[in-house]
Structures are given as structure tokens and as C-alpha cells.
Structure 1
Amino acid sequence: MQSTRLLAGLGLALCLGSSLVLAGPSHEQDDWRYRDARGPAARDSYAGERPPADFGPLRESIREHRHDIGRGPALPAHVRIVKGKRLPSGWGSRLSAGQLHHLPQYRGYEWRRAGSSLVLVDSRRGTVREVLHGVLD
């Protein structure tokens, strides 16, 4: 009889204790998979924003770092990169992490290099959002 009461008490304590553990705050955001691996410096004012309507101030910033970014392979005369159209297949080389460090990052877009120009491309559709002609000269 005593052992039955003891087992019943332990069972009740176990049930109540486990419900409290499950009801505790979620720690998913503390998980390493949810952290930005680039560190706090990478969380600048551009992250997650849409690209600006005016790229004028950005052009000046890119010109200051053009030697760090470097030119891409020159485009043949028959290849045209047009805003709103898909980037021609095989043109527009990707930039390394060191080169991307000098450029703002916009969610859903990626930078490509084509000759002396930088091209902002929609990552999903592959369409050209903006062409910054001659900024790497």
C-alpha cells in the first residue's frame, strides 16, 4: 500500500514536472543555426531592404572600392544586359565574399560583374534589377 502511494506520488510529480518543462520559453533563437555567421558588422542598414530607386550615392561608394572588386570578363558586342530582362546565360560572373564585402546586400538579389559594370539580379527570376555601367573603370 505504501509503495503504491509512493509510485502514484512519483508519477504525479513526473507528469507535472514534464508539463512545466514543455511550457517553458522556446530557445530556438539561441540555436547556432539561427545566428548570422558574418557577425554584427554585416547587419547593416541595407540587410533585408529593397534596392533603392536612386543608385547615385552607391555608385560613388563602389567607385572608391573598384580596385578591390575588380573588373569582370568583357562582354562581346552582341551581348546586351537590359534592365527588366533576364541576365544572358553564362554572362555576369559571381563575386567572392571579399568583393561582396564592399557592396550592400539586398534580400532576394545578388550582385554580378560584367566587364566594367555591376549588375543587380533578382535571385529567383534571374531578371536584371539594375545595371551600374562603368563603375569598375
Structure 2
Amino acid sequence: MQSTRLLAGLGLALCLGCALVPAASAHGHEPDDRRHRDSHAQQRPPADFGPLRQSIHAHRHDIGRGPAVPAHVRIVKGKPLPAGWGSRLSARQLQHLPQYRGYEWRRAGSSLLLIDSRSGVVHEALLGVLD
């Protein structure tokens, strides 16, 4: 009888403990880097990148150019980024760029690319913005 109560009590404690784990992450107990990144992420990229292009050009020395892209490699908006091209940016470089959920910035020569992080498709190519 006493062992049955003990098992029931342990089962109840286990169930309550499992119910608290998702609630903890929902209240902002995620790793600091993810919470910081997501708090600054906007929902969708803008339709017009003109004003952003000017801001990026003003910070081009802080962002820096990426490895040059050979003439045979074509980066096309709406197509996947060719494998091996488009270097990732450091946190210091990313502080000059807006963040969008589900997208990441890459450099290719003097261009900045906004890539869909799930599919690898080029959402926007800001060609020559780092010149």
C-alpha cells in the first residue's frame, strides 16, 4: 500500500515536472544568443531595399567585402545560392544589418545576399553595395 502511494507520488511529480519544462522556455529562458537575435528580428523583409542599400553602403567598410565570385558563378534572385559561395557574416558585421526571421545575410564579392535559411534560395541580391 505504501509503495503504491510512493509510485503514485513519483508519477505525479514527474508529470508536473514535464509540464513545467515547456513553460520555462516560453517565458524567455532560451539561450541568450538566440533570444537576443530573435528580439531584433523583424517578420518579413521589405519590398523596397532602396533605403537599406544606402545604409549598408554607408557601413560598407565595417561589413567588408567577401571572396570574389568567379565569372562562371551566377547568383540569381529566386534561385538557390550556388554551393560554396556566399560567406557568412560575423556578429560584429551583422549589427549593421536588419535581421529577418528565417533569413540570413551572406557576402559574395561586393554584394550582400539575403538568403532564405531553410531553402537556400536568394531572396534579395544587393549587387555592388559594398563597393
- Smaller-chain TM-score bracket: 0.7 to 0.9
Once the two structures are TM-superposed, the CA of residue 64 in structure 1 deviates from its matched residue by 1.0
The residue number in structure 2 matching 1:85 is: 79
Q: CA deviation at 1:35?
A: 6.0
| Structure 1 alignment gaps of length 5 or more | 1-14
Task: Say whether 1:57 aligns with 2:79.
Answer: no
Which of residues 120, 131, 135 is equivalent to 2:125? 131
Q: Distance in 2 between matches of 1:135 and 1:35?
A: 33
Question: Measured at CA, do residues 42 and 67 of structure 1 come closer, stay the same or move farther in structure 2, by a change above 3 Å?
Answer: farther
Q: Which runs of 5+ in 2 are unaligned?
A: 1-8
Q: Could you tell me which of 103, 106, 111 is aligned with 1:109?
A: 103
**2:104–2:117 contact (8 Å) kept in structure 1:** yes
Tell me: CA distance 1:41–1:93, structure 2 relative to 1, closer, same or farther (3 Å).
closer
Offset of 1:135 from its aligned partner? Answer: 0.6
- 1:120 matched to which residue of 2? 114
How many equivalent residue pairs? Answer: 116
Instruction: Give RMSD over aligned pairs.
Output: 2.6
- AA partner of residue 50 (structure 2): G
What is residue 43 of structure 1 aligned with on the other side? 39
Is the aligned partner of 1:95 residue 2:75? no
Deviation of the 1:48 alpha carbon: 3.5
Instruction: Give the Cα separation in 2 of the matches to 1:54 and 1:123.
Output: 20
Task: Provide the identity percentage.
Answer: 69
Stretches of 4+ moved more than 4 A in 1?
38-42
C-alpha contact (below 8 Å) 2:38/2:101 kept by paired residues: no
Between the aligned partners of 1:128 and 1:42, the Cα distance in structure 2 is 21
The higher radius of gyration belongs to 1
Residue 5 of structure 2 aligns with which residue?
Answer: none
Asked if 1 retains the 8 angstrom alpha-carbon contact of 2:28 and 2:35, the reply is no
